Chain A
């Protein structure tokens, strides 16, 4: 896709800043948004409070108690509400710790790609000309490489692990932000308040960061919500291909990938992790939809 043809919607006027009370009112009005927010809150609490919430040690390998069904109680009286995995570790505890790993990967990667995309999009949209051409061609080049293969190649050379996973997902995900921000900037820079600032001889960088930046947040937030969802799925996919996080680190992706051999004899290894991924991604998407409709309904046609 040539970035030039990728015309972001050009809002005729910049959406007025939503007031907080309106935000809350509209939010409560949407059942889907409320339910999603509750699901995400649960995931967030699990991630933050994992050490206190997990009933058992998620790393403790005990071969003697492997593949026990949900509700099993061991001789010491510990209950394994979701059963144990192939190495005798508590599935529920790993699920709770897994929220942490999945969220860390998703959020850190989207932060990296968001910052890169935002900066490049701003610069390219505002200055136009050669700068714009260069940035958009880099975007095209980036898009030409299938993300998963690029991630595999980089991780094969640099090694796998949480940090590299985040880096790879972060570095490859910036294009969406870049393009949408650029489109917004193109529209905004024709606005009166920008033209006025220019006329008074304000510095370019000041105009860019003080006048334009505050007006491109909405699409960035919306893109971020969708990127977060796709990062969670990407983590699972790379785990399946064996280049995700280390197998001892509990992540939903590795749990789902590891449990696949036991489908048919130990469903408790895949269903909780699979549901956790799907529900979280679903909630993020629904919330993202709602945010988009609320912040800037015109983005509907491109996201």
Chain B
């Protein structure tokens, strides 16, 4: 008897407890909740490459990309070349950081010095940013003017100043506080002020009323990390989140029917490809093998079935508008693939897998799961296609998204033969070519080609803009044919957005909240 009573009362208590957790009333003043897939590594711009969304929401750079992807002056007002190695930058007057420190030449000099100093000490994640913008020093000219001394001529210098790593920092705050503290208590000049951060509860942000473009339309925002896609979608369906990126294409029809939310499909500059890592399997050094791998994959079918027809196969090493529209992708042609492999000396063995000098053409393929639309499924389809021409994928491994972003940040350290990968836009042809340039932080394949390096060097030092298009197209055509990657397509971006939020998607897929959140009901 007693036990039953105990049980009953505990069940009732449990039920009551659950019942009091009634859904909170929805109101316009409820913060907008944005879901990302990983907790921030750091909010110090110089110590992370994985948190650009957040960094450029809190911080501001000298130049920025607007929502159309154009480089526009941000904190900088204007820039002038004094000679090929010296540039003069004027800073907008009257701007302040979140803590009230003025934005002036001192702040710019402090920021650029700090980057140089950290990089020299081997600290921070600055390989990419300082690899792109090769400067020696920054000097103060007057309170709102600085001089940037370059170590080599850079015709697209403004595009190299948009990287979040070079966000301007308030000197006093960042000198007085140790790096451990500022990492999770940032002060910047961006559209949102940092309020608090606790893992699991998210980064709480508040609109900055003295932002240079005016106070952002949405006042309160919380940025939360949820690693599991299925959970992110559930949050959106339940109405407890307002924005997520990376909705699986297959779910669009069903989610569109869910009340309270919509799926926004936006074009993107995120070009998907499969990186071919050099140095592990000898066959991959042979251009014919790489071309054969491209010919063996039916990209069109993948695009129509797994991307819901929202992607178009092409060689997109360079983003529009600089891209050569006449460049033809590798046609799906298994016969040609086989012929190329035969010519390269890889002939079918007893089990159908090709062999040369006793080495099997068997490769390792790493794929993420959910970092890109249907990435794991694409990997399996490709493995199947390659098998048909005698290339075996001996180990198809799924790696954690957090692991992948960290491997990417370390120039692909840990990549095996093949890896699902992507590249964001650089808004210049020179910048996009960095994907395959040997010193670049975005070249994660260890692919080095002397002819390309020569073309790239000449292009990168050419100030005569009338020659750029031809140089760009020639370089792209050469790389396309060399096939350092399996070319695929530019993926669409699918955002899940609550009905109360108005959202303007950027083609680069970045969620700079001060620019993309347009209002909340």
Contact = CB atoms under 8 A, between A and B. Distances in A.
B158 to A, nearest CB: 40
Nearest to B367: A247
Given A63-B305, A265-B254, A246 B396 contact: yes
A242 interface: yes
Interface size class of A (residues with CB under 8 A): 20 to 34
B379 A67 contact: no
A87 B306 CA distance: 9
Interface string A210-244: 00000000000000000000000000000001110
Interface string B363-404: 010010110001011011101100000000001111110000
Interface in A112-159: 159
B326 to A, nearest CB: 29
A59 B396 CA distance: 14
Nearest to A249: B396
Contact of B230 (A59, A243, A246, A261): A261
Interface string B143-156: 00000000000000
B229 A66 contact: no
Nearest to B248: A261
Contacts of A261: 229-230, 248, 250-251, 370
Contacts of B377: 86-87
Interface size class of B (residues with CB under 8 A): 20 to 34
B181 to A, nearest CB: 30
Nearest to B398: A242
A242 B369 contact: yes
A260 B367 CA distance: 18
A64 interface: yes
B184 to A, nearest CB: 25
A44 B302 CA distance: 36
Contacts, number: 63
Nearest to A266: B250
Interface string A250-262: 0000000010111
A161 interface: yes
A86 B305 CA distance: 10
A36 to B, nearest CB: 29
Contacts of A59: 384
A54 interface: no
B398 A247 contact: yes
Nearest to A258: B376
B384 to A, nearest CB: 5
A160 B395 contact: yes
Contact of B302 (A63, A86, A159): A63
Contacts of B66: none
Contacts of A64: 301, 305
Interface in B226-256: 229-230, 248, 250-251, 253-254
Contacts of B397: 159-161, 246
A86 B376 CA distance: 11
A86 B369 CA distance: 14
Contacts of A161: 395, 397
Given A247-B380, A247-B396, A247-B398, 11 more contacts: A61-B381, A61-B384, A63-B302, A63-B306, A87-B381, A160-B395, A160-B397, A247-B379, A261-B229, A264-B254, A265-B253
17 contacts: A61-B381, A61-B384, A64-B305, A159-B395, A159-B397, A160-B398, A241-B400, A242-B369, A242-B398, A242-B400, A247-B376, A248-B383, A261-B230, A261-B248, A261-B370, A262-B250, A264-B254
